[in-house]
Amino acid sequence: MSIIWSKNPYTGEKIRSYEKDTSHSIKQKLELIQSVQEEWFNKTIKERCELLENVSELLLERKEEYAMLMTSEMGKPISQSIAEIEKCAWACDFYAYNAEDLLADEIIETDAEESFISYDPLGCILAVMPWNYPFWQVIRFAAPTLTAGNTGILKHAQNVPGCARALEKLFLDAGYPKGCFQSILAGHEEIEKLIANETIKAVTLTGSEKAGRGIAQTAGKNLKKTVLELGGNNACIVFEDADLEKHLDTMVKARMQNTGQSCIAAKRFIVCDELYDTFVQKFTEATKQLVSGDPKEKETYIGVLAREDLAKSLKEQVDKSIEKGAQLTMGNKMEGAYFQPTILTEVVPGMPAFDEETFGPVAAIIRAKDRADAIALANNSKFGLGAMLFTEDIEGSLDLIPRISDGAFFINDMVKSDPRLPFGGTKASGYGRELSREGILAFVNKKTVYIKS
């Protein structure tokens, strides 16, 4: 039987080995899902919400343990790992409190004596999840999906197998029926077979554009619904009247949080010419204050990338951008999986730093002639996950809402996920929505019921 090793990206040391699932073990897990499905379907929403409250409580009780596991497996700074677990508990609390209302029948007035929409679970949902937020990405899928009455199979990233197993045990310890939520440790080659299996009713993926296209193609061939949250190249638009004194720290955090490994990070800073030089100076000064070091130390803000190959790919993107004319203001040094916070100025379309998703602590700063040019540059991307705008002209910024083509538009704050708000993208950033009401209705049968005597 083959194994998967978890490896500490900061020290380079192997942590632990895990047995990789075989075709036989995956078949057994699918059979277990089928055996528990009816029992889970028949539980009331209130009963499911009570179990979700247990998950929230366990997350908070074990947050130090889970945070250290994340930090060890993918290098997230420990303070940010703890914050991630706390956010997971928040999402569980949101759905535990609101699920009954969100899933209530929706009455529709027709010529029937009674007509309404009933929201019924689909069955087993396959979740293919990434390593960058190894608990949050899973919980934001599992909390609403399981509470709606579905069961779940998690295929997590191969470099966070400990997180995958810990999440499976979390739901079991919270009182969920055995088999209701399971993880499999397998490679991408197993995903196509899983999607084709009749037990799997739908698929959700958070990952790269390439992975999304592959999942969508396979799911489409098998007539399975998908929700895809893919890459991003978010624009942070800075108008000439932006209050840097007030918002600069937020802008730096928007790029450098999680060592820049976030699909919704501000990757392109599009700054109006009048403020450009001042912005570059202040942004650079603030970035230099960020503490790099051991992710297990509380004062560390910049840890390491999750794998050394990711750092090498990022360096290639930066180097190619410099070859095309970008100016290196700071950074562009790597050692193992560590990549120094990097700032590129005078970035223009056609450079990797403008056109591609840079998954690490690299800020591309683009000069815009004026506000209209800034909006045009922001929309000049194949991605559409989110955009942010910093300005004192709130009334004028509201007129821009229809002109921003992304799935989210944040004014004077960084793009972030919130259980109360729907989350998802457009264009190459995917389709469908997670979180909020849309998230819990993503994998239900919206059944029309029409009653006439």
DSSP state of 315: H
253 Cβ contact list (under 8 Å, min separation 6): 414
Rounded to whole angstroms, the Cα distance separating 301 from 297 reads 9
Is position 13 annotated as part of the catalytic site? no
Rounded to whole angstroms, the Cα distance separating 72 from 306 reads 10
pTM over 0.95: yes
450 Cβ contact list (under 8 Å, min separation 6): 110, 112, 115
Burial 145-155 (b: 16+ CB within 10 A, else e): bbbbbbbbbbb
The pLDDT score that the predictor gives to residue 382 is: 98
Span 103-135, pLDDT tens digits:
999 999 999 999 999 999 999 999 999 999 999
Is residue 98 within 8 Å of 167, Cβ to Cβ? no
Q: Which residues of the chain have pLDDT under 70?
A: 1
Rounded to whole angstroms, the Cα distance separating 453 from 22 reads 54
Element (H, E) at 183: strand 181-184
Q: Which residue has the tokens 């998230």?
A: 439
**Alpha-carbon radius of gyration of the chain:** 23
Residue 80: which of 69, 92, 71 has the closest Cα?
71
Domains of the chain: 3-230+429-451 (3.40.605.10), 234-418 (3.40.309.10)
Residue 264: which of 295, 226, 229 has the closest Cα?
229
The pLDDT score that the predictor gives to residue 189 is: 81
**Which neighbouring-strand residues pair with 302?**
292
209 Cβ contact list (under 8 Å, min separation 6): 230, 231, 428, 429
The pLDDT score that the predictor gives to residue 1 is: 62
Residue 75, φ and ψ in degrees, nearest 5: 85, 10
For residue 107, the SS3 value is strand
Choosing from 229, 356, 357, 434, the catalytic residue is 229
For residue 390, the SS3 value is strand
Provide the CB-side half-sphere exposure for 112 (13 A, CA). 12
Q: Which residue has the tokens 């603030």?
A: 286
